[in-house]
Amino acid sequence: MKPVVAIVCDTSQQGPHVYHQVGDKYIQALVRCADVTPVLIPALEDPIAAADIFAIADGILFTGGYSNIQRHHYGESAAPDGEHEDPRRDKNTLALVGEVLKAGVPMLGICRGLQELNVALGGTLYPRVHEIEGRMDHREDKNAPVEVQYGHAHSVSTTEGGLLARVTGESQFMVNTVHGQAIRDLAPGLSVEALADDETIEAVSVDGAKAFALAVQWHPEWKAWEDAPSTKIFNAFGNAVREHKTNRTL
């Protein structure tokens, strides 16, 4: 049996109903480049216990998502009306991060997932990084075709000797960019794994983690099999998940 990777869903309101959902590109990247079986975890009001998730999953993927983390989680006053938020996802993922690290379950965070890792461990975000002097606009052009939205947009430079540099074998490579928020204060216990030219933190790892614990601000899941660094990130995550499955005692 292949190892299982759990993905906590986004929620969205469709008419009178709440739906739980995960983008297909995350599922495809896990299947094709990590060789694991993805399972979707609904973002319940009363979150499923971490132990119950770990009983069925050998790794956790924290995906990207169009919603923004509610600002009170990182000490800011509420966002203006109309902000796209997903409090249910916040409640589920922010609590799960600490449990994942405590249990030594391998994790990969992508975009919102990186932001969740940072906020869960006590870091803060820029709610609109493009409004900060000297920073680039890291958002996609929503009117462009999706291939352009998720096409290479800027380079990142990896930290020498760091996890991401070892996984990709690269000191610099091109990434896409689809985010309006970004790390402001790095949480204690995280290390920078890559920076953009404007100093935006693009990847982090967890110091002294018991298992693979990497998060990136860009979207390696987008056609991961066509982009060498993306393939390597998912390969490395898959290998860590396989190792955890082999060694776990529960």
Contact residues: ligand LF53FM6H, CB under 6 A: 23, 64-68, 111-112, 178-181, 219
Phi, psi of 127 (to 5 degrees): -65, -25
Q: Region of 15 please: left (phi>0), alpha (psi -120 to 50) or beta.
A: left
Q: Please identify, using beta-carbon distances, which residue of 38 and 65 lies nearer to ligand LF53FM6H.
A: 65
Determine whether 111 is an active site residue: yes
Place of tokens 């953009």: 196
Q: How far is the CB of 181 from ligand LF53FM6H (least distance, A)?
A: 3
Q: How far is the CB of 210 from ligand LF53FM6H (least distance, A)?
A: 26
- What residue number has its CB nearest to ligand LF53FM6H? 64
- 9, 33, 221, 244: the catalytic one is 221
Q: How far is the CB of 178 from ligand LF53FM6H (least distance, A)?
A: 5
Angstrom CA distances, 45 to 11, 48, 86, 175, stand at 11, 9, 11, 35
Determine whether 199 is an active site residue: no
**Burial class of 24 by CB neighbour count within 10 A (0 to 12, 13 to 18, 19+):** exposed
**How far is it, in rounded angstroms, from Cα 116 to Cα 184?**
13
Determine whether 154 is an active site residue: no
- 9, 111, 116, 202: the catalytic one is 111
Count other Cβ atoms within 10 Å, centred on residue 23: 18
Q: Please identify, using beta-carbon distances, which residue of 60 and 211 lies nearer to ligand LF53FM6H.
A: 60
Q: How far is the CB of 54 from ligand LF53FM6H (least distance, A)?
A: 24
DSSP symbol at 68: B
**Active site members:** 111, 219, 221
